[in-house]
């Protein structure tokens, strides 16, 4: 008969990935790294933490095998260890959406009222891109656009959008996207464009989901 202690050790090891993600800041880091490789300094700014705290969280993710690192000069860069880690994060997020009480209200508190925002599905956007009758805006930071973006999208980070409205062709219909279903950048872009009289919608989720669906992507 199998040794229960050995079984317990096995299941403890199987739970290690979940334990590493059982922290909101580490979940944020994985969400950002799902967009592509980033430096420690960039990650600290993204999750609004000190370099020391961010490094501690990254070391925990590194020990669990969820991320990998490389050094370039004096800088250290992190990335997800594999696509499976991104899949794990999306599955965990989806489970929370379906089963965690109060999550919908928490999302609304952060994202605002989405009821008046037009949303477009991945399949519809792919068809519109083939027809060439839509302008797709990637409103994530430039580093994330460079790491990978929807083929045909133009990069206008959300903090630059107001000053670059002139880059959008007159009469164009715009679809904005960012990191995923809980990313606020695309929502802010659609609201801003709509106030300026520009027809705009947000992609239903974000670049990682587009990439996971094996839809056309490009890298700079």
Active site residues: 178
Tokens at 131, concatenated: 């027809």
Q: Which residues pair with 80 in a beta bridge?
A: 67
SS3 115: coil
Q: What does the alpha-carbon distance between residue 189 and residue 125 come to, in Å, rounded to a whole number?
A: 17
SS3 218: strand
**For residue 168, how many other CB atoms are within 10 A of its CB?**
18
The three-point CA angle 14-19-25 to 5° equals 145
Measured CA to CA in angstroms, residue 198 lies from 5, 9, 103, 116 at distances of 63, 58, 31, 15
DSSP state of 180: S
Q: What does the alpha-carbon distance between residue 52 and residue 42 come to, in Å, rounded to a whole number?
A: 13
């Amino acid at each position: 008969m199998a040794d229960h202690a050995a079984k317990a050790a096995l299941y403890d090891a199987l739970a290690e990935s979940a334990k590493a993600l059982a922290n909101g800041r580490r979940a944020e880091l994985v969400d950002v790294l799902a967009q592509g490789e980033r430096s420690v300094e960039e990650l600290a700014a993204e999750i609004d933490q000190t370099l020391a705290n961010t490094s501690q969280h990254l070391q925990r993710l590194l020990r669990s095998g969820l991320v990998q690192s490389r050094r370039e000069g004096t800088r250290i860069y992190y990335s997800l260890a594999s696509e499976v880690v991104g899949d794990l994060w999306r599955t965990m997020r989806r489970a929370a959406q379906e089963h965690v009480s109060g999550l919908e209200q928490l999302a609304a508190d952060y994202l605002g009222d989405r009821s008046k925002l037009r949303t477009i599905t991945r399949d519809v956007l792919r068809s519109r891109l083939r027809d060439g009758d839509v302008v797709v805006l990637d409103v994530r930071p430039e580093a994330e656009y460079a790491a990978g973006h929807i083929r045909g999208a133009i990069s206008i980070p959300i903090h630059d959008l107001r000053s670059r409205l002139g880059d959008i062709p007159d009469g164009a219909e715009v679809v904005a996207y960012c990191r995923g279903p809980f990313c606020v950048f695309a929502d802010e872009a659609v609201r801003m464009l709509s106030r300026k009289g520009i027809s705009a919608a947000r992609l239903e989720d974000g670049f990682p989901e587009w990439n996971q669906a094996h839809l056309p992507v490009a890298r700079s």
